[in-house]
């Protein structure tokens, strides 16, 4: 076989990909028919594909490339660490400098007393850790029956059996999850789709109070923890009403249940604060981290754990849990370098004070478009709801997601990666995007919306 490289014709690469590569969250045969887009390189916020197209990546890969593509320092950090100590584990009473340094740095950055980290290879694995961690914690406190975890519909917490069971996405249910018993889902705080006649404020409170109802239903001595993304990402960048998180915090405090903030997307500057919990004013006992921790340059995730929980678990003998790649030295070294860049270049502050307000101004103006109902944005994550009737917050005649998929296709062809979740279009660009790149993003989005509008009118979907 020829050497497979960037220089191969696109069609040959696509044929080999279709023959041997199973893609996540993809209809494999359908993709094989048309061929996957082959991304060959990237710099800053721009991707290049195998046909030489330049595409503005308004999704930071999968919400992860916070510092943008092509930072040599991270490549150097990885190479240096690979030469010195490419691998060692942290199981058998050993440790290494990258894990020590990253843990200390995370304790410095994290809010309140989240001073301890249990490493994983991904966000999904970290959420699996969380399930075992909170159940083990309560068992050690003499409450082994306190094992129910409350989550939300349309939440995304990963694709492992644990993460998938915690999550509440309809498309994932009945494909092998949920399998973990003792997980209860309450409604998501999605006012646009589910708020009916209620004001956003009242709806936010009503959704939060479902947590209290669930606690009472199971019995307060049965509920171990509540888990939620500060802003639901994969669910469609669902920004909860302001009333929501304070009420969730009150309920967790009143009933003494642990609060787990899944910060896999919101963490490391995405909201214009270091963590989404800071933005929402909540005090989690555990935070799930991944993605922006290394800006996606190396796979790494983890659970940031507060003093109290860590103390109980640490005092309880062996915690029989861990991954071969927990605290992988190369991933830790890359993450550490990523955090140095985020801090030294004041990227999070720049997002908060300059870039996010600029983006928000442009993004919210998209509601002038006939297809766009609401526009939501927090920091560098935003969504627009496509609708045939703004006032009624109506859905399209076509199956949910049909119009969104059209729009995503138009975006791709116009050199923009914007994702769709049903008929919501979402963005999460690299935090380092410039004002002129935001202008390009918005221009391409408007053009794609115009073309979608024409297309669906022509097809009678409007
Ligand atoms: N939690 C959240 C909130 C996520 O968005 C994701 C990934 N999109 C995960 C967990 C799972 O992370 P990973 O894909 O790294 O396993």
pLDDT score for 37: 96
Taking the whole predicted model, whether its pTM rises above 0.95 is answered as yes
Vertex 291, ends 36 and 329: CA angle to 5°? 110
Q: Each residue's pLDDT tens digit in the chain (462 positions)?
A: 568 999 899 999 999 999 999 999 999 999 999 999 999 999 999 999 999 999 999 999 999 999 999 999 999 999 999 999 999 999 999 999 999 999 999 999 999 999 999 999 999 999 999 999 999 999 999 999 999 999 999 999 999 999 999 999 989 988 988 889 999 999 999 999 999 999 999 999 999 999 999 999 999 999 999 999 999 999 999 999 999 999 999 999 999 999 999 999 999 999 999 999 999 999 999 999 999 999 999 999 999 999 999 999 999 999 999 999 999 999 999 999 999 999 999 999 999 999 999 999 999 999 999 999 999 999 999 999 999 999 999 999 999 999 999 999 999 999 999 999 999 999 999 999 999 999 999 999 999 999 999 999 998 887
User: Which of 125, 160, 290 has the most ligand 1 atoms within 8 A of CB, as the residue to mutate?
Assistant: 290
Rounded distance from Cα 184 to ligand 1 centre (Å): 19
Question: 338 CB less than 6 Å from ligand 1?
Answer: no
Rounded distance from Cα 63 to ligand 1 centre (Å): 9
User: Which of 119, 124, 151 has the most ligand 1 atoms within 8 A of CB, as the residue to mutate?
Assistant: 124
Delineate the domains of the chain, giving CATH numbers in brackets: 37-70+347-458 (3.90.1150.10), 72-344 (3.40.640.10)
Rounded distance from Cα 171 to ligand 1 centre (Å): 16
On the 0-12 / 13-18 / 19+ scale of CB atoms within 10 A, 350 is: middle
Residue 379, phi-psi category: left (phi > 0), alpha (psi -120 to 50), beta (remainder) = left
pLDDT score for 1: 58
Structure token digits, residue 78: 């990885």
Decide: 384 and 372 in contact? Cβ < 8 Å: yes
Question: 336 CB less than 6 Å from ligand 1?
Answer: no
Rounded distance from Cα 301 to ligand 1 centre (Å): 9
The span from the CA of 140 to the CA of 137, in Å, is 5
Question: 264 CB less than 6 Å from ligand 1?
Answer: yes
pLDDT score for 176: 85
Rounded distance from Cα 169 to ligand 1 centre (Å): 13
**Cα separation values, 101 from 313, 358, 365, Å:** 22, 35, 44
Exposure string for 7-44, b = 16+ CB within 10 A, e = fewer: ebebeebbeebbeeeeeeeeeeeebbeeeebeeeebeb
On the 0-12 / 13-18 / 19+ scale of CB atoms within 10 A, 171 is: exposed
On the 0-12 / 13-18 / 19+ scale of CB atoms within 10 A, 401 is: middle
Side-chain-side CA neighbours of 90 within 13 Å: the count stands at 20
**Which ligand 1 atom is at minimum distance from the Cα of 262?**
3
User: Which of 61, 163, 267, 301 has the most ligand 1 atoms within 8 A of CB, as the residue to mutate?
Assistant: 163
**Which ligand 1 atom is at minimum distance from the Cα of 155?**
3
Please choose, from the candidates 407, 408, 406, 367, the residue with its C-alpha nearest in 3D space to the C-alpha of residue 390.
367
Output the DSSP codes for 394-425: PPPSSPTTHHHHHHHHHHHHTTEE-EEETTEE
The residue nearest atom 10 of ligand 1, judged by CA position, is: 157
**Helix, strand, coil percent content, the chain, rounded in steps of 5:** 45, 15, 40
**Which ligand 1 atom is at minimum distance from the Cα of 127?**
10
Question: 122 CB less than 6 Å from ligand 1?
Answer: yes
Helix axes 244-255, 200-218, angle to 10 degrees: 20
Question: 151 CB less than 6 Å from ligand 1?
Answer: no
Question: 230 CB less than 6 Å from ligand 1?
Answer: no
The residue ranges of DSSP E strands in 45-152, in sequence order, are 46-49, 54-57, 116-120, 148-152
Decide: 228 and 195 in contact? Cβ < 8 Å: no
Residue with tokens 């915090």: 249
Rounded distance from Cα 368 to ligand 1 centre (Å): 33
Rounded distance from Cα 8 to ligand 1 centre (Å): 33
Helix axes 307-315, 123-140, angle to 10 degrees: 70
Rounded distance from Cα 27 to ligand 1 centre (Å): 20
Residues whose CB falls within 8 Å of the CB of residue 218, separated by 6 or more in sequence, listed in order: 148, 184
Rounded distance from Cα 28 to ligand 1 centre (Å): 21
């Amino acid at each position: 076989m020829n050497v497979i490289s960037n220089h191969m014709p696109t069609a040959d690469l696509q044929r080999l990909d279709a023959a041997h590569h199973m893609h996540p969250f993809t209809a494999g045969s359908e993709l094989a028919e048309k061929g996957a887009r082959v991304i060959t390189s990237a710099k800053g916020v721009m991707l290049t594909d195998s046909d030489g197209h330049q595409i503005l990546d308004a999704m930071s890969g999968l919400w992860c490339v916070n510092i943008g593509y092509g930072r040599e320092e991270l490549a150097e950090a990885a190479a240096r660490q690979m030469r010195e100590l490419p691998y060692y584990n942290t199981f058998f009473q050993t440790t290494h400098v990258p894990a020590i340094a990253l843990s200390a740095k995370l304790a410095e950055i994290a809010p309140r007393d989240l001073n301890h980290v249990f490493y994983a290879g991904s966000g999904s694995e970290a959420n699996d850790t969380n399930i075992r961690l909170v159940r083990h914690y309560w068992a050690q406190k003499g409450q082994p029956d306190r094992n129910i975890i409350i989550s939300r519909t349309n939440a995304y917490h990963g694709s492992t059996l644990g993460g998938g069971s915690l999550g509440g996405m309809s498309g994932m249910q009945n494909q092998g999850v949920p399998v973990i018993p003792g997980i209860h889902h309450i409604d998501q705080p999605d006012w646009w789709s589910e708020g009916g006649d209620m004001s956003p404020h009242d709806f936010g409170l009503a959704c939060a109070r479902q947590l209290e109802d669930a606690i009472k239903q199971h019995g307060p001595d049965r509920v171990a923890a509540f888990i939620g993304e500060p802003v639901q990402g994969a669910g469609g960048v669902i920004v909860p009403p302001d009333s929501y998180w304070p009420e969730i915090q009150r309920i967790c405090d009143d009933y003494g249940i642990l609060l787990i903030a899944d910060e896999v997307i919101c963490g490391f500057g995405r909201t214009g604060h270091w963590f989404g919990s800071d933005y929402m004013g909540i005090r989690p006992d555990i935070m799930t981290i991944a993605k922006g921790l290394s800006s996606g340059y190396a796979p790494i995730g983890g659970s940031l754990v507060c003093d109290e929980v860590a103390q109980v678990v640490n005092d309880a003998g062996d915690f029989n849990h861990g991954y071969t790649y927990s605290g992988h030295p190369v991933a830790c070294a890359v993450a550490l370098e990523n955090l140095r860049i985020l801090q030294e270049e004041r990227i999070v502050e720049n997002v908060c004070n300059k870039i996010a307000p600029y983006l928000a101004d442009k993004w919210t103006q998209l509601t002038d478009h006939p297809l766009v109902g609401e526009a939501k944005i927090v920091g560098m994550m935003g969504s627009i709801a496509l609708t045939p009737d703004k006032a009624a917050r109506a859905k399209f005649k076509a199956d949910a997601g049909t119009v969104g998929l059209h729009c995503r296709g138009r975006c791709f062809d116009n050199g923009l990666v914007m994702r769709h979740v049903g008929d919501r279009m979402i963005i999460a660009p690299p935090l380092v995007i410039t004002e002129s790149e935001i202008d390009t993003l918005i221009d391409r989005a408007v053009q794609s919306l115009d073309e979608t509008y024409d297309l669906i009118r022509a097809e009678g979907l409007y």
